[in-house]
Amino acid sequence: MLTVDTHQHFWNLSEVAYSWLVPEYGPIYRTFTPSELAPQLAAAGVDKTVIVQSANSYADTDSMLAIAEAHDWVAAVVGWVPIHDPAEAARKLEDYAANPYFVGIRHLIHDEPNPDWVLQKQVIEGLQLLAERDLAFDVVAVFPNHLKHVPTLAEKVPALKMVIDHLAKPPLGEQDRATWREQLAAAAESPNVYAKVSGLNTVTPDFENWTADDIKPLIDFALETFGADRLMFGSDWPVAVLAGDYAKVWAETNKCLAQLSAEERAAILGGTANAFYQLGL
């Protein structure tokens, strides 16, 4: 069975600026390199990864593409272009789209002061550029400000392939979680919208003692709304270090999938990613 981690990062604090990464983040406020991740992938039995953008900059994208070239276990890169500046985005996409590792883009929407940033006319035009090139858009749809916009994006750019990162970071409170379920279900109504089973360890009430029992209800609901063919596993390493490690995320996620059919598990753990990002594996 092909296994793909669809959501992992690298950052090098001496080479790239990450405006959000500050000392208060403790154990993840340092450089993380491929040499640190490689043995953890091998131990888990993960075949390939997709490196995902960590900064709204060309420097971050260029760094990820260089890593992809140097490591055969990297299948693809989700980079960045300024979709809020369609002319510049189109120019830069001409360069990046020629790179076989470049499969889509992400923007740190949740860092924008305007919660409706992604609905601006120029951003919609930028997203249309992705659709025209058959490139994917990773959506940082952090609840409650962004997940609700996904159906609107799907309506305005119907050919755009989108994947919701981290199931939009489900809230802990039951009232908020009910609204999250409504919004996630609404997003799932669009067939071009997918979701990542990732980053769930950092939405648990106890970062030190969380188990599969804490995240299984979230994964089960995602399965009800999207189905296995539109869900994909991601470790969110090294952010995952805030609440465990790579091995724990992999093991506890697999426990949540244990009752599924072999075909469903194969989809979530690799098949969906292979199709969505057109990895050709």
Confidence of residue 57 (pLDDT cuts 50, 70, 90): very high
Q: Which residues pair with 125 in a beta bridge?
A: none
Do 160 and 130 touch, CB atoms closer than 8 A? yes
Domain range summary for the chain, segments of one domain joined by +: 4-276
123: buried, middle or exposed (CB in 10 Å: 19+, 13-18, 0-12)? buried
pLDDT given at position 121: 98
Write out pLDDT tens, residues 220-252. Answer: 999 999 999 999 999 999 999 999 999 999 999
The residue count for the chain: 281
Kindly state the tokens that stand for 166: 């981290």
pLDDT given at position 196: 98
Q: Give the range among 87-91, 174-178, 277-281 with minimum mean pLDDT.
A: 174-178
Per DSSP, helices labelled H in 71-210 are 86-96, 121-132, 150-156, 174-188
pLDDT given at position 198: 98
Name 90's Cβ contacts closer than 8 Å, sequence gap at least 6. 129
Instruction: Decide yes or no: CATH 3.30.450.20 for domain 4-276.
Output: no
Do 77 and 85 touch, CB atoms closer than 8 A? no
Confidence of residue 182 (pLDDT cuts 50, 70, 90): very high
Write out pLDDT tens, residues 93-138. Answer: 999 999 999 999 999 999 999 999 999 999 999 999 999 999 999 9
Do 43 and 4 touch, CB atoms closer than 8 A? no
pLDDT given at position 180: 97
pLDDT given at position 101: 98
pLDDT given at position 171: 95
pLDDT given at position 274: 98
Please give, one letter per residue, the 3-state secondary structure of 102-125.
EEEEECCHHHCCCCCHHHCHHHHH
Write out pLDDT tens, residues 143-174. Answer: 899 999 999 999 999 999 999 999 999 999 98
Taking Cα atoms as reference points, which of 38, 42, 39 lies closest to residue 51?
A: 38
pLDDT given at position 51: 99
pLDDT given at position 177: 95
> Beta-strand (E) ranges in the chain?
4-8, 48-52, 74-79, 102-106, 136-139, 161-164, 193-197, 231-233
pLDDT given at position 257: 98
